Amino acid sequence: MKDRIDKIYKRISEHSDSFLGYPLAKDFSYQEFAPFLDLCINNIGDPESPSTLAIDTKDIEKECVAFFADILSTNMKETWGYITNGGTEGNLYGLYLARESFPEAVVYYSESTHYSVKKNLHLLNIKNIVVRSQPNGEMDYDDLEQIISFRRDKPAIFFLNIGTTMTEAVDKLDEIKRIIHKYAIKDYYIHCDAAFLGLIAPFIEPKPKFDFAEGVDSIAISGHKFIGGPMPSGVVLVKRNHRNRIAHSVSYIGAMDTTITGSRNGLTPLFIWSFIQKYGKQGLIERARNSQKVSAYTEKRLKEIGINAWRNNDALTVVLDKPSNALCDKYQLASEGNIAHVICVPGIEKVQIDLFIEDLKREKKGALEEAQLV
């Protein structure tokens, strides 16, 4: 068994060093929590509600949620949240509360939205319409407005991307508000999928409008993307009145039931809390600035060797023409159609970008020589 485990560790470790195409921070270490692997930790039920099962980290979870609430321009009196299994669960929860608020509503989301959202909508059985995207991945507001103009009598759920999967595009909340006002839509709910940018956007200029000060109803953020961690995690925050609508007490666990899953991971709150203690707000700012420098460097180097590359504003995602399948496999580049991307998360340094650039140069030179021979 040990040989098998050693092989698995070696394979994952080697691949962890080389990937450039996924938003998974690499610069973390949580070895101090190794003793917890010999314990059962279960944050069952509502994080604010004590349970008859006392082997939890709910006190830590509440501190984490309060930190996220603060950077998202709100407080724990107005909002409520919990640590999730990742962005998909956070989006599912936001859509679930939206459906409970407006059962007859239609969900509007762009074609650049993460693939899991369509699955969530199917699970929740909510009517939905896909809106066209602009070339940069941002929602096409003219298309949305045309769709809304025929359904102004229906409650609306707006699912906004605060950083799309492929191009890190941000849907503009001001445009959504303009359309809501123009067509006098009284019943609506706004959910923001900030899986990657939720911990970056609050600290960049100009700051995208997506937080609770702007009137959104719920926000989902991933924990394993910009923070980093050995397992997926995330946080979802919602207006407290929405959470209260679905809350009910369960005598079996002696707690309120307000989350998607009953038993919840009690280890990931420790990881997120540890990161907050080490970095805080200022650390997040510096982290974002450093990653932006690497992404700017990546875009510049790609252009220098004649590769078509671009970014949305100061995004950490650099979009480029899709390289060969061999290079996509080597660097684990996610691709869609004829484009791929490099995501400059914390832990990716210029030296890794340089290695990728050298491989691209060799590939380009080989293709040119082959074309000349023909």
- Do 98 and 17 share a structural domain? no
- Domain around 213: 31-277
Question: Which has the closest alpha carbon to 296: 318, 267, 276?
Answer: 318
Query: pLDDT tens for residues 75-88?
Result: 999 999 999 999 99
What pLDDT band is residue 374 in, cutting at 50, 70 and 90?
Answer: very low
Q: Which residues pair with 34 in a beta bridge?
A: none
- Do 297 and 203 share a structural domain? no
> What does the pLDDT average to over 212-227?
97
This prediction's pTM: 0.95
- Do 226 and 245 share a structural domain? yes
Q: Which range among 234-238, 248-252, 271-275, 361-365 shows the weakest confidence by mean pLDDT?
A: 248-252
- Do 64 and 49 share a structural domain? yes
Query: pLDDT tens for residues 291-311?
Result: 999 999 999 999 999 999 999
Considering the domain boundaries, does residue 178 fall inside one?
yes
Indicate if the pLDDT at residue 370 is higher than 60: no
Give the pLDDT confidence score for residue 206 in this predicted structure: 86
Q: How many percent of the chain have pLDDT more than 90?
A: 91
Question: Which has the closest alpha carbon to 261: 280, 236, 285?
Answer: 236
Amino acid at 216: V
Give the pLDDT confidence score for residue 249 in this predicted structure: 80
Q: How many percent of the chain have pLDDT more than 70?
A: 98
Kind plus residue range of the DSSP H or E element containing 234: strand 234-239
Considering the domain boundaries, does residue 364 fall inside one?
no
Question: Which has the closest alpha carbon to 233: 81, 34, 111, 50?
Answer: 81
- Do 191 and 126 share a structural domain? yes
Considering the domain boundaries, does residue 369 fall inside one?
no
DSSP state of 208: P
Query: pLDDT tens for residues 35-63?
Result: 999 999 999 999 999 899 999 999 999 99
- Do 144 and 44 share a structural domain? yes
- Do 220 and 294 share a structural domain? no
Q: For the chain, what is the domain count?
A: 2
Strands 188-193 and 156-161: parallel
Query: pLDDT tens for residues 305-329?
Result: 999 999 998 999 999 999 999 999 9
Burial of 144 (0-12, 13-18, 19+ CB in 10 A): buried
